[in-house]
Amino acid sequence: DGGITQSPKYLFRKEGQNVTLSCEQNLNHDAMYWYRQDPGQGLRLIYYSQIVNDFQKGDIAEGYSVSREKKESFPLTVTSAQKNPTAFYLCASSIRQGHGSSYEQYFGPGTRLTVT
Amino acid sequence: QQPVQSPQAVILREGEDAVINCSSSKALYSVHWYRQKHGEAPVFLMILLKGGEQKGHEKISASFNEKKQQSSLYLTASQLSYSGTYFCGTDAKDSSYKLIFGSGTRLLVRP
């Protein structure tokens, strides 16, 4: 079955440690995204990538980093510089992206990160 | 700028109808609608494009007023499975492509 996988589902870290969240898709989608969701809030875009080896900052990129070395993989690193990293992180993909496109986003199951 | 959704929450009896609204201060190319159940990933419902094109589930209906930058999602004859949080995402003309999501509308359908 095609889809997006994120691992792990739950992640616990101590403050000051970097942590990398995995996102893999086998949908052959060009575009991939990382969102952060806080309780009772909408989705806020962290980073997105339209093509391999290229990515752009979203609205809340500070304290995060990404890489896109393979089409199917888009890992997110939450660095120690992120002041409030505890949140639910969602990865998504779409066939491609562009203004006015009709390409929906497919979301992974998410990773709930807790930093203490 | 984040689109504004209304109402913030709504409770229905099974079989009742509801309308969820999404309003943006920016000119839009499109509006996306997603539903998220607690602790799960958002699931695509519909895309409404400038010019009237729509793409989505047959049982879901929605509208997009391009002049007012507003969209509405119509949930008719609600079922228990409709419960969840509904998000609209807007693709605005004044920025590079990305979806800006509203803060969501919580819908609870009771038997």
The burial class, CB within 10 Å (0-12 / 13-18 / 19+), for A15 is exposed
A61: contact with B, CB 8 A cutoff? no
A18: contact with B, CB 8 A cutoff? no
**β-strand A111-115 against A54-57: which pairing, if any?**
unpaired
Contacts of B37 in chain A (CB under 8 A): none
Residue B98 has pLDDT above 90, yes or no: no
Q: How confident is the model at residue A103 (pLDDT cuts 50, 70, 90)?
A: confident
Residues of chain B that touch chain A, judged by Cβ-Cβ distance less than 8 Å: 2, 29-30, 32, 34, 40-44, 47, 49-50, 53, 55, 87, 89, 91, 93, 96-104
CA distance A12 to A85: 11
| Averaged pLDDT, A97-109 | 85
For residue A104, give both structure tokens: 């929906």
DSSP letter for each residue of B36-57: E-TTS--EEEEEEETTS-EEE-
Q: How confident is the model at residue A1 (pLDDT cuts 50, 70, 90)?
A: low
Give the Å distances, CA to CA, from B17 to A43, A91, B58: 26, 32, 16
A7: contact with B, CB 8 A cutoff? no
Residue A39, pLDDT score: 85
Please provide the distance, in angstroms rounded to a whole number, between the alpha carbons at the two ends of chain A: 36
- List, for residues A43-82, the tens digit of each pLDDT value: 999 999 999 999 999 999 999 999 999 999 999 999 988 8
Cβ-contact A4, A90 below 8 angstroms: no
Cα–Cα–Cα angle for B12, B17, B21, rounded to 5 degrees = 95
- List, for residues B38-89, the tens digit of each pLDDT value: 888 999 999 999 888 888 877 789 999 999 999 999 999 999 999 999 999 9
Bridge partners (DSSP) listed for residue A77: A20, A65
Cβ-contact A77, A65 below 8 angstroms: yes
Give the gap in angstroms from C-alpha A84 to the nearest C-alpha of chain B: 19
Contacts of A114 (CB under 8 A, 6+ apart): A10, A11, A12, A13, A86
Residue B107 has pLDDT above 80, yes or no: yes
A48: contact with B, CB 8 A cutoff? yes
